[in-house]
Amino acid sequence: MNHTDSLTSQLLRMREAHAREPMPAWSTRATRLRALQALINEHRSDIANAINDDFGGRPAEETDLLEVFPSLSTLRHTLRHGRRWMKPRRHLPGLLFLPARNEVRPQPLGVVGVIVPWNYPLYLAIGPMIDALAAGNRVMVKMSEFTPNFSALFANLVERYFQPDEVHVVNGDASVAQAFSALPFDHLLFTGSTAVGRHVMRSASANLTPVTLELGGKSPAILGPGARFDHAVERILVGKLFNAGQTCIAPDYVLLPRARMPEFVATARNVASRLYPALQDNAQYASIVSDLQYQRLANLRDNALRDGARAEPLGDVRDQPTRRRLMPVILTGVNDDMTVMQEEIFGPLLPLVPYDTLDQAIAYVASHPHPLALYLFEQDRATIDNVLTRTLAGGVTINDTLYHIAQHGLPFGGVGPSGMGGYHGETGFRTFSHMKPVFHQARFNGAGLLNPPYGERFKRMLSIMLKRG
């Protein structure tokens, strides 16, 4: 049986299971969510070890902080609020339709597909699964072939904690991913690059499968004139160097006042040495996930230097190619013709782009593809509002980096080239639900007054409707 036949058979089994239970009770949904909790809690060290093996070195502390914690936090939040999200919501009808009543009834879509990237393989699998399961769906998950140890572990764990028609994990190479994205899911969520996202959307369109695309792009950090400078540099470096920059919402480049460029470099060196002392052998600094990604990043840096950029290393250390450890570097003297300023970096390279006025910085962001994230460091409220009004980004954090993704009450998603749709919290529940509108006509109502034949009574009623409707 080939990839497509096997995947199609699994999808049909899950569809049949959904048809037998199209509206799972909250108790059933909560049981599935608690199974995810148990999976994580009971195998936390196994998860960290597998991800560490895949990266060739990623600290367990970062896996706990950036994957385990947000996964468990999301589960707790969903278990607290999911029952309320399920309830139909009453809405008043228009005055002319009284005493009828309206409601919006959340209904599970059926079987949801999730395609997981390699950079945060636990959280970016668990997060969509939580929202889809809370909404009453069944889930098929395609793991990344670039994290083979964790992907195999996760498939094994899911088999132990779930029935095969509840959650099913798929592993395999790009051909499997292509077949997976072409399945007629009831909804498909993809997290990954913009280039691959185009292919996923094209495949899904053949089945009119609705998609949520969580892509990426070049997320800027803007240092406003009123920024707390040292604080801003520290928070940018923290957001950039977590997971060695392999984060879809990591600051990709920095826009800052031209006169403060040397100060930024000097401060960043001090910050980096404080965050990662003895960087050359510091086990808390992650490796690059693969030889392919390591070489891509090295080429981005080296090509920029060849074209006139300058490297400002954040420490007196050398790259370690055999361990895929790429040392963090600030790049100055960059321009838009360089590949490093055209592609999402996804690694520990940080270009600085100077501006002379804040309007120039805003115009620069606005003239480029909309990013997945934008970071602004500024204290003046009017300046903050000015930047928020004149720029468009998937999400924004003010005076820090990354944290908007961790807010259960905020949707997470991109805009334009950085994605479409969103999830997390109640937004995710709605993404994976059909919010079915229902109109309940009252027993005694005036609808018959509009029946043909259209005489004087109809004209009087229509006149009232046109004036008051």
230 & 150 share domain: no
Q: For residues 159 and 191, what is the distance between their CA atoms, to the nearest angstrom?
A: 23
Q: What confidence tier does 1 reach under pLDDT thresholds 50, 70, 90?
A: low
Q: What confidence tier does 446 reach under pLDDT thresholds 50, 70, 90?
A: confident
279 & 153 share domain: no
Mean pLDDT in residue range 141-168 = 97
For residue 118, being part of any structural domain is answered with: yes
Dihedral over Cα of 147, 135, 415, 394: its sign: negative
49 & 116 share domain: yes
Domain count, the chain: 2
For residue 187, being part of any structural domain is answered with: yes
177 & 270 share domain: no
- Whether 386 shows a pLDDT value over 80: the answer reads yes
pLDDT per residue as tens digits for the range 279-320: 988 999 999 999 999 999 999 999 999 999 999 999 888 999
116 & 178 share domain: yes
Mean pLDDT in residue range 44-51 = 98
176 & 227 share domain: no
**CATH number, domain with residue 264:** 3.40.309.10
pLDDT, residue 468, reads 80
339 & 398 share domain: yes
In percent, the amount of the chain with pLDDT more than 90 equals 91
pLDDT, residue 351, reads 98
Segments forming the whole domain that contains residue 96:
3-215+419-435
For residue 431, being part of any structural domain is answered with: yes
For residue 454, being part of any structural domain is answered with: no
47 & 109 share domain: yes
For residue 324, being part of any structural domain is answered with: yes
For residue 440, being part of any structural domain is answered with: no
Mean pLDDT of the chain: 96
- The pTM for the full model equals 0.94
Active site amino acids: 214, 248
225 & 199 share domain: no
- Provide the strand spans (E) within 163-296: 167-170, 187-191, 211-214, 220-223, 253-257
157 & 121 share domain: yes
- Helices and strands in the chain, H and E counts: 16, 16
Q: What confidence tier does 416 reach under pLDDT thresholds 50, 70, 90?
A: very high
Q: Is the CB of residue 211 less than 8 Å from the CB of residue 204?
A: yes
Mean pLDDT in residue range 101-106 = 96
For residue 462, being part of any structural domain is answered with: no
Q: For residues 105 and 111, what is the distance between their CA atoms, to the nearest angstrom?
A: 18
Mean pLDDT in residue range 17-46 = 98
160 & 191 share domain: yes
**CATH number, domain with residue 31:** 3.40.605.10
pLDDT, residue 316, reads 84
Out of 4-8, 137-141, 237-241, 294-298, least confident range: 4-8
Q: What are phi and psi of 328, to 5 degrees?
A: -70, 140
For residue 278, being part of any structural domain is answered with: yes
Going by C-beta distance under 8 Å and a sequence separation of 6 or more, which residues neighbour residue 80?
Answer: none
182 & 75 share domain: yes
